[in-house]
């Protein structure tokens, strides 16, 4: 081997050796798929935390206690509503809300909008709280994942969502903070923030 060729070879090998190692911010597809498979099987759970919300006419916050049993849920909100608390219970099609000793029956989203001023997609939120796109909405887009295989953000049903503060629970890692923003067709802006302090699961 000529001296020139030897020098070139050593230079190339040396250059390869000192290239910095960079870690992509997107998980391998199998990691994200494994997370979705595991977490989608959590059908009976309860979370406690705080929900903040804001719309064109103002906003507020409430302590939240959410109990999910398969497709049925009971969502208790307390704090900012004058009467002290409200309870929304139902399924994917219809829900009822007990508020100020009156019973209201509408779609889950209509009841949430009536209570908070924000058209929160309650059915989708039961999936988003676990860091998953809802299978009942249009396919999520712009999905970004962490090296561990968790969702860090995606877009679905007109909402831009971010997920953070993942922590270990008895059912594995789950998000502790979900933030969503939505611009309606009339350009009005809505947002929510769900901070979860506790997860528990049916035995």
pLDDT of residue 18: 33
- Tokens representing 165 are 């503060």
pLDDT of residue 84: 73
What's the CATH code, domain 26-201?
A: 2.50.20.10
pTM attached to this predicted model: 0.82
Mean pLDDT, consecutive 10-residue stretches, the chain (203 aa), reads 40 35 46 94 95 91 93 87 78 86 88 88 93 94 94 97 96 96 93 97 80
pLDDT of residue 71: 86
pLDDT of residue 82: 52
Helix (H, G, I), strand (E, B) or coil at 180: strand
Nearest-angstrom CA–CA distance, 117 and 124: 17
């Amino acid at each position: 081997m000529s001296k020139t060729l030897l020098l070139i070879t050593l230079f190339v090998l040396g250059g390869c050796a000192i290239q910095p190692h960079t870690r992509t911010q997107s998980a391998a597809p199998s990691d994200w798929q494994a997370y979705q498979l595991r977490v989608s099987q959590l059908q009976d759970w309860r979370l406690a935390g705080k929900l903040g919300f804001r719309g064109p006419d103002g906003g507020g916050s409430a302590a939240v206690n959410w109990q999910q049993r398969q497709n049925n849920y009971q969502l208790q909100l307390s704090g900012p509503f004058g009467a002290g608390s409200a309870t929304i219970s139902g399924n994917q099609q219809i829900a009822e809300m007990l508020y100020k000793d009156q019973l209201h029956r509408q779609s889950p989203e209509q009841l949430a909008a009536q209570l908070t001023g924000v058209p929160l997609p309650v059915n989708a939120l039961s999936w988003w709280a676990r860091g998953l796109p809802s299978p009942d909405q249009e396919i999520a887009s712009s999905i970004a994942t962490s090296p561990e295989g968790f969702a860090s953000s995606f877009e679905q049903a007109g909402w831009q969502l971010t997920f953070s503060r993942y922590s270990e629970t008895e059912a594995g890692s789950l998000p502790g903070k979900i933030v969503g923003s939505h611009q309606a067709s009339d350009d009005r802006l809505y947002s929510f923030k769900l901070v979860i302090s506790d997860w528990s699961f049916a035995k």
